[in-house]
Chains A and B, each alone.
Chain A
Amino acid sequence: MALLEIEELRVGYGFPVLMGISFEVEEGETAVLFGLNGAGKTTTVASIAGLLKPDSGVIRFDGEDVAGRPPTKLVSKGISLVPEGRRVFPALSVGNNLRLGAWSRRRHRNEIDERRQLVFDYFPRLAERADQAAGTLSGGEQQMLAIGRALMCKPRLLLIDEASLGLSPALAKTVFQVVKRINEDGVTVVIVEQNVGVLPYADRALIMEKGTLIFSGVGDEIQHANLRETYLGGDH
């Protein structure tokens, strides 16, 4: 059974943004959501994380329809979003950012220490900066922290909105490699991207255009298909 099933999801901000999209992500996969600005990628992941209430449609997580539930409920179910623009807490230290990330599991002290170690293992740079205010980190470090914070709640599904935005190609590659490691450690990942450099790390590719899903492929299909042309091509 797929861990995440989206059926005919319609979301809008007074005007329609998602026009009824459907897709599935299997447990253990890394899925990449491609599309131009305004295609509805952020709206899709924000709806899955509970930040937006869908107008209609089903968001099934582990067999249960969770559409319209608030993020506070979804986090404890195991859905964690790294939001667009990172959104780290600038005045708090790296350590305290991670501590707040573990809010939903704050009663399990030992587990929090283990999670923190795991995050430092993924991103050794964060360990070096543990006492530094998050606002003073570089863009790449803030991205690492945002991912690390989202991992603190021990998610089963990690949603990452624009992992590589504003990062150098080398740094973007590092982030993708860590995301792959996180995935190999058992976390299902959905990553919103405009950078095709993520493809070698993906099991499934989804391409959105103007609020609809125009391509969905798995495995070899996506490695061979000329996605660059498919998704940047056309008349736009």
Chain B
Amino acid sequence: MLDVLRARADWIVGLALAVALAVLLIATGEEKALVIGTTTGSAYGMVALGLVLVYKSSGVFNFAQGEFGTVALYALYMLDFEVNYWLALLGAVVVAAMMGFLTERIVVRPLFEAPRVILLVATAGVALLAIGVQIWFGDAQGKPIAKGFDRVDRVKVFGVQVPDQQLWLIAMLAVLAIVLGLFFTRTNLGLAIVGASQEPTATELVGISVRRLSSFVWVVAAVLGAFAALIAVPNGGSFAPGIMTTSFLIPAFTAAVLGGMTSLPGAFLGGVLIGIVQSVATTAPLFEDIPGTKETLVVFVVLLVVLVIRPQGLLGKGSA
């Protein structure tokens, strides 16, 4: 029994934190921040899952993670003129998957043996290239983007209206978290990816090509980035070049760090936590007197505090 508890310790700590935060916010009358934060945070969580996956497999923070999403948004924007919305959405996900695959083949694989910092800079290069192409393609103007679900007044939580599109985002994240969880604990391929992230040599020795696993991981990460962008960004009504890098990447990175950089449930939970912290910063009277964009400020404060005090993350293992 104790062993089971210990094995699940990260989940228990995480859930306890989340419940404590929720209770605190409701008690202080900030339940709106809780609802809004959870939905925005879900998108951060989804991008963070992609960051963690790539980090586990390639040992590098992927600066291009956001742009997988923005490229998908462009694909959706253009395809939406031609075909049915849902087909366009599917096409956008496929485009992102292809970008993930090509990034791995053209950039990551040739740098397989290179120091990780070189690969890190290379992923930043991919992100900048993607942003450049986006500007070249359209212009730097914001463009309208369609939603999958338009109704906004169907569901109310604590008096806050939660648009259907947001519900879809939360549902999608929950589904992805469960699917990924099962994938990494039940399937040969998932176990191989976990194994390769810990013992690449032993992974080769049992007959698994670590390089081939890497393409797969980058495709999955790109698809996660695409879903986050395609579902979360339309809530704002429009998008512009580099949007996923400028408004999602840093919170998602903070979420991943909060979760310990290698924990998938940690990334998910970290995303929601960051979302809530941001929305508290925007609405709570406590922060009223701070000028400027408070939500960006608090993300950096959280990031710094975590890095200084608990660099292994809230759920990370002590020595990791």
Instruction: List the interface of chain A (C-beta within 8 A of B).
Output: 49, 51, 70-72, 75-76, 80-81, 83, 87-92, 96, 99-104, 106, 132-133, 149-150, 152-153
For chain B, residues 201 to 221, give those with C-beta under 8 angstroms from any C-beta of chain A.
201-209
Q: Can you name 19 A-B residue pairings with CB atoms under 8 Å?
A: A51-B201, A51-B204, A51-B205, A70-B204, A71-B204, A71-B205, A72-B209, A75-B206, A80-B205, A87-B201, A87-B205, A88-B199, A89-B199, A90-B198, A100-B188, A100-B192, A103-B188, A149-B202, A152-B206
How far, in angstroms, from A70 to B207 measured CA to CA in the complex? Answer: 9
Residue of B3, B191, B202, B209 with most partner-chain A CB within 10 A = B202
CB distance from A144 to the nearest CB of B (A): 15
CB distance from B207 to the nearest CB of A (A): 4
**Apart from A51-B205, A70-B204, A89-B195, what 13 extra A-B contacts exist at CB < 8 Å?**
A72-B207, A72-B208, A75-B207, A76-B207, A80-B205, A83-B201, A88-B199, A89-B202, A91-B194, A101-B206, A103-B207, A149-B202, A153-B207
The verdict on A92 contacting B191 (CB below 8 Å), with A72-B209, A133-B7 known, is yes
CB-based contact A92/B207 at 8 Å? no
The verdict on A99 contacting B207 (CB below 8 Å), with A88-B199, A88-B202, A89-B199 known, is no
CB-based contact A149/B206 at 8 Å? yes
Question: In the complex, what residues of B have CB within 8 A of residue A91's CB?
Answer: 194, 198
Question: In the complex, what residues of B have CB within 8 A of residue A100's CB?
Answer: 188, 191-192, 195, 203, 206, 208
The verdict on A92 contacting B195 (CB below 8 Å), with A99-B188, A100-B188, A103-B188 known, is yes
CB distance from B313 to the nearest CB of A (A): 15
CB-based contact A99/B191 at 8 Å? yes
CB distance from A60 to the nearest CB of B (A): 20
Size class of B's contact patch?
10 to 19
How far, in angstroms, from A83 to B206 measured CA to CA in the complex? Answer: 11
How far, in angstroms, from A87 to B195 measured CA to CA in the complex? Answer: 10
How far, in angstroms, from A91 to B205 measured CA to CA in the complex? Answer: 18
Question: In the complex, what residues of A have CB within 8 A of residue B206's CB?
Answer: 75, 100-104, 149-150, 152-153
CB-based contact B202/A72 at 8 Å? no
How far, in angstroms, from A99 to B208 measured CA to CA in the complex? Answer: 12
How far, in angstroms, from A83 to B209 measured CA to CA in the complex? Answer: 17
Render B105-141 as a binary contact track against A, CB cut-off 8 A, 1 for contact: 0000000000000000000000000000000000000
